[in-house]
């Protein structure tokens, strides 16, 4: 049995993934009405947050980060494992809720499609259990420190927004050259699908295979380099990581 505190977007992704894997799920929330609504959608148990006993439970905290203290006051007992997905909330702060082991997990927007890239860190004893839980909403990576988790968040958490910019810009380029908007969009989606099938190849080798001497790819690649796109992406990851340090 896995207990999830919260019934928002991320909690629902976890509920679906866990139920599909055959796991029993319990959901804790502050609104009786919303608990009833979610119990109509999924075969789960529900409990009101106020004074709920978390003794020996495996608990996933999936509420808004600023509500940690308020939620903590309403929980009784000591959980076996507390996994928090609260963005920007460090492991130290989680100790406000009593638990035997603590883990931080950072899923991304694709969790709802079971395609999250989730990074986790925390008590090593809880690593297998935590990895297993998040494997039901996509891929997982365990890192050794919260610093690495913050860097990973810049890549896998903010990354979808960065790639969305790339997708939009490529489609706009097609339109600028004369393609219909709809066709440019279809081609860009197809491109991302094609590229994901090449994920096991090193990026530099993909580029070398496509680029022929004095060819079209070489011309486009030169334009990207002269516009500083490589450096812009490196800076984007660094900036996103630096921002996590300011919000922690």
Ligand X SMILES: NC(=O)c1ccc[n+]([C@@H]2O[C@H](COP(=O)([O-])OP(=O)(O)OC[C@H]3O[C@@H](n4cnc5c(N)ncnc54)[C@H](OP(=O)(O)O)[C@@H]3O)[C@@H](O)[C@H]2O)c1
CA distance 87 to 244: 9
Residue with tokens 């919000």: 247
Q: Which is nearer to ligand X, 161 or 198 (CB)?
A: 161
Smallest gap from residue 39 Cβ to ligand X (A): 14
CA distance 211 to 139: 31
Nearest CA-CA partner of 67 in 83, 86, 80, 52? 86
Q: Which is nearer to ligand X, 70 or 168 (CB)?
A: 70
Residue, CB closest to ligand X: 8
Smallest gap from residue 157 Cβ to ligand X (A): 6
Smallest gap from residue 8 Cβ to ligand X (A): 2
Smallest gap from residue 50 Cβ to ligand X (A): 10
CA distance 36 to 145: 38
Smallest gap from residue 13 Cβ to ligand X (A): 8
Record the tokens describing residue 153, joined without a space: 């968040």
Check: CB of residue 191 under 8 Å from CB of residue 220. Answer: no
Residue with tokens 């509420």: 63
Nearest CA-CA partner of 118 in 246, 23, 17, 1? 17
Q: Which is nearer to ligand X, 84 or 188 (CB)?
A: 84
User: What are the respective helix, strand and coil percentages of the chain, to the nearest 5?
Assistant: 55, 20, 25
Smallest gap from residue 89 Cβ to ligand X (A): 7
Residues 6 or more apart from 119 whose CB is under 8 A from it? 105, 106, 140, 141, 142, 143, 148, 149, 152, 153, 156
List interacting residues with ligand X (CB under 6 A). 6-11, 29-31, 34, 49, 62-65, 67, 70-71, 85-87, 106-109
Residues 6 or more apart from 224 whose CB is under 8 A from it? 230
Smallest gap from residue 62 Cβ to ligand X (A): 5
């Amino acid at each position: 049995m896995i207990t999830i505190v919260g019934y928002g977007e991320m909690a629902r992704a976890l509920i679906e993934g866990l139920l599909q894997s055959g796991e029993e799920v319990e959901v804790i929330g502050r609104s009786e009405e919303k608990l009833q609504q979610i119990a109509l959608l999924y075969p789960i148990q529900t409990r009101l947050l106020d004074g709920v006993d978390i003794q020996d439970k495996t608990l996933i905290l999936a509420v808004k980060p600023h509500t940690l203290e308020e939620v903590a006051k309403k929980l009784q007992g000591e959980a076996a494992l507390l996994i928090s997905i609260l963005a920007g909330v460090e492991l130290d702060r989680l100790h406000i809720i009593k638990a035997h082991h603590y883990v931080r997990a950072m899923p991304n927007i694709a969790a709802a499609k079971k395609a999250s890239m989730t990074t986790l860190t925390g008590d090593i004893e809880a690593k297998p259990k935590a990895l297993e839980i998040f494997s039901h909403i996509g891929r997982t990576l365990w890192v050794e420190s919260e610093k690495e988790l913050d860097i990973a968040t810049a890549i896998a958490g903010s990354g979808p927004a960065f790639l969305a910019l790339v997708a939009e810009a490529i489609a706009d380029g097609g339109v600028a050259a004369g393609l219909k908007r709809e066709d440019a969009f279809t081609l860009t989606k197809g491109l991302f699908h094609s590229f994901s099938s090449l994920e096991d190849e090193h990026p530099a080798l993909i580029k070398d295979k496509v680029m022929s001497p004095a060819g079209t790819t070489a011309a486009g690649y030169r334009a990207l380099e002269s516009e500083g796109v490589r450096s812009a992406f490196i800076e984007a990851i660094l900036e996103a990581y630096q921002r996590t340090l300011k919000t922690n």
